[in-house]
Amino acid sequence: MTVNRRKKPASVNPMKIGQSLGAVLALQGCYRAMPLIHGSQGCSAFPKALLTRHFREPIAVQTSALQEMDVIFDANRNLEEALNLVLSKHRPDIIGIIGTELTDVAGVDYQNMLKTYKRERNMRGGLAFSVVLPDFRGSLESGFSSTVEAMIDEMIQQVGHRGSRSVNTRQITLLPGSFLTPADVMELKEIISSFGFEVIALPDISTSLSGHLLTGFSPLTRGGVPLDSMLQSLQSGLTIAIGGSMERPARRLHNALGTPYKVFEGAMGLKASDELLHFLHQISGEPVPLRYCWQRENLLDSMLDAHFQFAGMSALTALEPDHLYSVSGWLEELGVEQKALITSYETPLVAGMEREVWVGDLDDAEVLGKGADLWISNSHGIAGAQRIGAAFMPAGFPVWNELGAYMSVSVGYRGAMEWSNKAGNLLMQREAGHRESSVRHR
Amino acid sequence: MKHSILSEGDEEPMDPVRKDEFDSEACGSIAPKAKPCPRPKPGEAAGGCSFDGAQITLLPIMDAAHLVHGPIACAGNSWESRGTLSSGPCLSQYGFATDLTDSDIIFGGEKKLKESIDYIAERFAPPAIFVYSTCVTALIGEDMDAVCKTAAERIGIPVIPVNSPGFVGSKNLGNRLAGDALLQYVIGTGEPEPLTPLGVNLIGEYNIAGEMWDIEKLMNSAGITVTSRITGDARYKEITWAHRAKVNMVVCSRALLGLAKEMESRYGIPYFEGSFYGAKETTYSLRQMAFLMNDREMERRVDRLTEREEARLSQDLRPYRKLLKGKRAVLYTGGVKSWSVISALKELGVQVVGVGTNKSTEDDVRRIADRVGDDTEYIPEGGASRIIKTVRERKADIMIAGGRNMYVAMKEQIPFIDINQERHKAYAGYEGLLRLAKELTYSLANPIWKLAASPAPWDKEAHPYDR
Ligand code: SF4
């Protein structure tokens, strides 16, 4: 349908997150990686603090620490210094240089600089790439997918000269979108591999940001997909992308290597899960594992139990585009009225949605969603939800008011069930609160 | 050869601070900017930008609107990230941004800024609007001062430009630039109501986790009033009359020392530096206030109060002291000054075996040296690995640092206490010290440390040479 915007000059209570943060997130899913933000200090300190707050994990990131004069005279001198230091001190396998609005506006050409740098130092074996991500375009989601795309590009180039490629039809490359939690990625890997496939997730935050105890501190990422698996993924017989934003990286693999791909735009709810499992069943020729048949029953049963709770209820959802699409599909199945759908920026996926979508901020959510019973957004929405008297359900990024949010599952039958129960519980508590206060006021 | 403290000679075994920072005029004050702040090291830099620092100082003005002029990330990634609390208005918790796009940057964002200011003024009716520049708006040469000036005339409320784009330097510099903005545009522009009793300005106390409230309560029970809070839980108006205060107290915040100095020379208000961490420091600070107020009766009241409070505290602390005695801590703070926390820990019997000096000035280091033993290790610069190394080598029992290092400590299974901006516990004053003692005890005694350290039962069965 249409994508609307409310007319107002300033952004009030923004939900948009800088693209560069998405890039840092993507790189956390690669083993022994170092995202290097080419910009001023704050541009790496804020994302680091925010990601730490959300995942409750240390986050690997560095900066070229530009200061005013560096920007004006020679920003790449700083980048070179940073590269020298990071390479000699930590020896990362993967290094992603993330250009910011600062280098963009100043017109710094770090792409070429990186090329020369790699040639001069005779850099081989690792993966070093750059990506242009000014914060005045896109949001977390686009930063994440662009980074995955740049990473794939670099991988293709690196193995490109090694002759023909043998295709492993039992191996699938999974491209999980930025809105998936570590537990989601884990769940997807399990689902796909239960049909007898090898899965390589790119990136794989399920093994880096899922909270594991690894002693021996390193400023690099500690977990995620290792470089050799990444390169091996080029042999996969199929790419599965989750989220519309991941189509471009999938297409990149297709164009360069001929790897067929399948995009699942939605990942939540009965229908989306049915589609995924049916597809896997068809391509593998394997029966759907019993446990998913069970989970499907469980989900349907819990939806029946919960439907009393959702009857006549309305929700407002303010999330990144892919996530919004996914959650909206799930709400549809619950029969909840969707009062307002707000997202951070326009993508083809949300533009093509059947419902009306607004590009805006959490203030718009408050205005457009007035009267909603359930408010779904990142933790910045708590105050707004309180003001309009809606039950608050944290989702997306960042979430800091809940322990273990990063481990909650939303995909598959299990995820849909978890979310339905959670939303239903929130509404039930809210109702109880209302009842109590009405008794008190009598 | 006698080395000056600035030299890099080998005689200085620790070289505790980068030499540029010895110039106390560099980051800590308003007066001559002879030397710039030290350049952060690319590839090894940590910490926020000046824009961040300016926000830290000004966001606690709770009833004002704070508008960030730039692309979304500067505001989008930073709003609602501080633990500063409000006792009333909360407009300052709204995230306002001009959210510049490609075309705004090509054609200039001044029009959008102007419209944003008008919009906020009309819809939220704040007593004032602070407008922050960011790297991009500074780089493309937006004339923010002019836009703010005409806007203020047009809408009839103060619109204050805060020129502290991230790339000019460190967080500390940003604190200072925010102080400059207050001096230039706010302080001295208003008058208190006639019957308001005048007293002390608290400068650099940000009401993290509500610490300001504990402090105010103490001051009030000694009959000392707070004239302006600069800026924890402040209202815009009270800062306009800060020049009428009788005393300025700079609460462990060197970056705002310049503000106090300038107020001394402009308005003749005496100032002192103090802290509320630890009973001794708290007592000292209260005494100092009364002394500078030049009020005998007040001094007597302070003496009575502090005696009573200290006696009660030492009673309450007894069980915790027993448990904490001889425990070893590594302290790595950002915003809160190390020396004052050291005093607090010492009073609890906790020995500080390692201390970060990355943001300390020469004076701070001297104060630290006064308070710790000779074998305390100074950690001159950041990096989690360096801190952890110190914890291990010095056999520390606990790490006390900022949130940035919290999860690093968790991975290493080191008990941890958060001391910086984002924390949720108030540690100031006598009450605060008791709270700190409790927190330390809970943290050290938690069963998780034993559980996490012991292997799974099937791993225990393995022969040692297998592993
Ligand atoms: S360094 Fe500049 S662009 Fe980056 S967050 Fe700070 S003010 Fe914004």
The pLDDT tens digits for A142-187 are 999 999 999 999 999 988 755 567 899 999 999 999 999 999 999 9
For residue B356, CA distances in Å to A274, B116, B232, B328 come to: 55, 42, 25, 15
How do strand B271-274 and strand B351-356 relate by DSSP bridges? unpaired
Residue A49 has pLDDT above 60, yes or no: yes
CA distance B252 to B230: 13
Residue B3 has pLDDT above 70, yes or no: no
ipTM value of the model? 0.94
Which pLDDT score, from 0 to 100, does residue A24 have? Answer: 98
> Are A377 and A365 spatial neighbours (Cβ–Cβ below 8 Å)?
yes
Q: What's the mean pLDDT in A111-136?
A: 90
Select from A36, A95, A105 the residue whose CB has the most chain B CBs within 10 Å, as the one to mutate to test that interface: A105
Most confident among B335-339, B370-374, B432-436 (mean pLDDT): B432-436
**One fold for A168-210+223-288 and A291-441:** yes
The pLDDT tens digits for A280-291 are 999 999 999 999
Residue percentage of chain B with pLDDT more than 90:
67
- Domain A19-159 fold is Rossmann fold (3.40.50)
Question: Which of B66, B135, B140, when mutated, tests ligand 1's pocket best, judged by the most ligand atoms within 8 Å of its CB?
Answer: B135
Contacts of A383 in chain B (CB under 8 A): 90, 93
CA atoms within 13 A on the CB side of B332: 29
Which pLDDT score, from 0 to 100, does residue A441 have? Answer: 67
Which pLDDT score, from 0 to 100, does residue A288 have? Answer: 97
Q: Give just the sign of the alpha carbon dihedral A157, A160, A162, A165.
A: positive
Contacts of B94 in chain A (CB under 8 A): 12-13, 363
Split at pLDDT 50, 70, 90, the class of B383 is: confident
Our CA-based measurement puts residue B236 at a distance from the nearest CA of chain A, in whole angstroms, of 21
Q: What's the mean pLDDT in B203-218?
A: 93
CA distance A33 to A94: 4
Which pLDDT score, from 0 to 100, does residue B453 have? Answer: 86
The pLDDT tens digits for A329-369 are 999 999 999 999 999 999 999 999 999 999 999 999 999 99
Residue A106 has pLDDT above 60, yes or no: yes
Residue B390 has pLDDT above 70, yes or no: yes
What is the CA angle A415-A419-A425, rounded to 5?
145
Share the mean pLDDT of chain B.
87
Residue B21 has pLDDT above 50, yes or no: no
> Are B276 and B221 spatial neighbours (Cβ–Cβ below 8 Å)?
no
Residue B421 has pLDDT above 80, yes or no: no
CA distance A269 to B297: 72
Burial string for A374-388 (b: 16+ CB within 10 Å, else e) reads bbbbbbbbbbbbeeb
Residue B35 has pLDDT above 90, yes or no: no
The pLDDT tens digits for A410-430 are 999 999 999 999 999 999 999
Split at pLDDT 50, 70, 90, the class of B396 is: very high
Name beta bridge partners: B272.
B249
The pLDDT tens digits for A215-233 are 677 889 989 999 999 999 9
The pLDDT tens digits for A363-397 are 999 999 999 999 999 999 999 999 999 999 999 99
Both tokens of B385, joined, read 């690995």
Is the link from the previous residue into A398 a cis peptide, with omega within 30 of 0?
Answer: yes
Report CA(A65)–ligand 1 centroid distance (Å): 11
Domain edges within chain A: 19-159, 168-210+223-288, 291-441
The pTM for the full model equals 0.92
Which pLDDT score, from 0 to 100, does residue B334 have? Answer: 61
Q: What's the mean pLDDT in A76-82?
A: 94
Residue B230 has what DSSP assignment? E
Residue B33 has pLDDT above 60, yes or no: no
Window 51-90 of B, Cβ < 8 Å to A: 51-52, 67, 71-81, 90
Lowest mean pLDDT, pick from A268-272, B102-106, B249-253 = B249-253
Chain A with chain B: Cβ pairs closer than 8 A: 214
CA dihedral B343, B349, B350, B356 (to 10 degrees): 20
Which pLDDT score, from 0 to 100, does residue A35 have? Answer: 97
Task: Say whether domain A168-210+223-288 belongs to CATH 3.40.50.300.
Answer: no
User: Does A71 contact B422 at a Cβ distance shorter than 8 Å?
Assistant: no
Instruction: Tell how far CA B263 is from the center of its chain.
Output: 20
Which pLDDT score, from 0 to 100, does residue B258 have? Answer: 94
What is the CA angle B259-B133-A70, rounded to 5?
95
Both tokens of B167, joined, read 């790339």
| Backbone phi and psi for residue B272, each to the nearest 5 degrees, phi listed first | -145, 160
The pLDDT tens digits for B137-175 are 999 999 999 999 999 999 999 999 999 999 999 888 999
- Domain A291-441 fold is Rossmann fold (3.40.50)
Which pLDDT score, from 0 to 100, does residue B359 have? Answer: 65
Window 351-390 of B, Cβ < 8 Å to A: 383-385, 388
Q: Which amino acid is at A40?
A: S
Which pLDDT score, from 0 to 100, does residue B462 have? Answer: 59
Both tokens of A92, joined, read 């990362």
The pLDDT tens digits for B276-298 are 999 999 999 999 999 999 999 99
